[in-house]
């Protein structure tokens, strides 16, 4: 009797199915992106924070991570700010891809599209090196190669690249003591949408919504604990 699972054919079939699934995912993402390009942001969240002054944004890489005690205090400060402004976080997995997951949630209502976001950011970094090179304190090619890896933490350079690639104003409500709110604008063009993220102490990004309007997502992995 032959093996009903046929190792060789199973492997081949699995590969074909995986390739087909990836292609379908790409087509779905492309369709969603094309549809979203037609939309203009309505600024509902922006109206809540329109009275706040944002600081000039300078792209930078991560240089230091706070210790556990400082991080805890910073998170408490962030939670208080969000409550004050009527904002709530959709928790994003803390697997090293949180920046890209949060952006994917804002753009496509699905954090699982983080690989696509990272891929597009890398394309932006490669095609427009002159825009970002001066902010990277290491060999630029090494930086881009590092950022290609899944699980590599995004920084303010990748946020700027995302703002430029998706023509978006990225709005960060932060945990920093002296900086409540940061706006990251696309270079040399007007933004066609707003993306709202919370930013906790160089550690984690979540996706922001109005209180009571946080969507329910199906998460495959454990959330960031806070």
d(C-alpha 85, C-alpha 210), whole Å: 9
Q: Which two tokens stand for residue 160?
A: 């700027």
pLDDT value, residue 70: 60
Q: Domain extents for the chain?
A: 7-38, 41-210
Per the residue annotation, which of 95, 133, 219, 223 is the catalytic one? Answer: 95
Q: Which residues contact 10 (CB under 8 A, 6 or more apart)?
A: none
Residue 110 has pLDDT above 90, yes or no: yes
What are φ and ψ of residue 152, in 5° steps? -75, 125
pLDDT value, residue 12: 43
Residue 82 has pLDDT above 60, yes or no: yes
pTM here is 0.72
Per the residue annotation, which of 74, 105, 164, 204 is the catalytic one? Answer: 204
Residue 69 has pLDDT above 80, yes or no: no
pLDDT value, residue 59: 55
pLDDT value, residue 168: 97
Segment 147-182, tens digit of pLDDT: 999 999 999 999 999 999 999 999 999 988 888 899
Checking phi first, is residue 34 left (phi over 0); if not, alpha (psi -120 to 50) or beta?
A: alpha
Q: Across all residues in the chain, what is the average pLDDT?
A: 78
Per the residue annotation, which of 74, 98, 105, 156 is the catalytic one? Answer: 98
Residue 202 has pLDDT above 90, yes or no: no
d(C-alpha 7, C-alpha 135), whole Å: 50
d(C-alpha 81, C-alpha 180), whole Å: 8
98 annotated active-site: yes
Segment 123-142, tens digit of pLDDT: 999 999 999 999 999 999 99
Give the three-class secondary structure for 6.
coil
Taking domain 41-210, whether its CATH number is 3.90.70.80 is answered by yes
Give, as one character, the DSSP assignment of residue 181: E
Residue 8 has pLDDT above 70, yes or no: no
């Amino acid at each position: 009797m032959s093996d009903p699972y046929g190792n060789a054919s199973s492997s081949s079939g699995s590969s074909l199915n995986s390739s087909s699934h990836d292609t379908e995912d790409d087509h779905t993402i492309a369709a969603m992106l094309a549809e979203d390009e037609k939309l203009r942001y309505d600024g509902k969240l922006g109206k809540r924070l329109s009275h706040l002054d944002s600081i000039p944004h300078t792209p930078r890489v991560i240089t230091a991570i706070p210790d556990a005690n400082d991080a805890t205090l910073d998170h408490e400060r962030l939670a208080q700010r969000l409550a004050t402004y009527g904002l709530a976080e959709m928790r994003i997995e803390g697997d090293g891809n949180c920046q890209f997951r949060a952006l994917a949630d804002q753009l496509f209502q699905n954090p699982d599209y983080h690989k696509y976001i990272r891929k597009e950011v890398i394309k932006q970094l490669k095609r427009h090196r002159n825009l970002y090179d001066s902010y990277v304190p290491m060999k630029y090619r090494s930086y881009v190669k590092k950022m290609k890896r899944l699980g590599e933490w995004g920084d303010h350079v990748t946020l700027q690249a995302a703002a430029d690639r998706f023509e978006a104003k990225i709005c960060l409500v932060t945990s920093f003591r002296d900086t409540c709110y940061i706006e990251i604008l696309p270079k040399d063009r007007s933004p066609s949408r707003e993306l709202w993220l919370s930013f906790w102490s160089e550690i984690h990004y979540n996706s922001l919504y109005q209180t009571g309007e946080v969507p329910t997502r199906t998460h495959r992995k454990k959330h960031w604990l806070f």
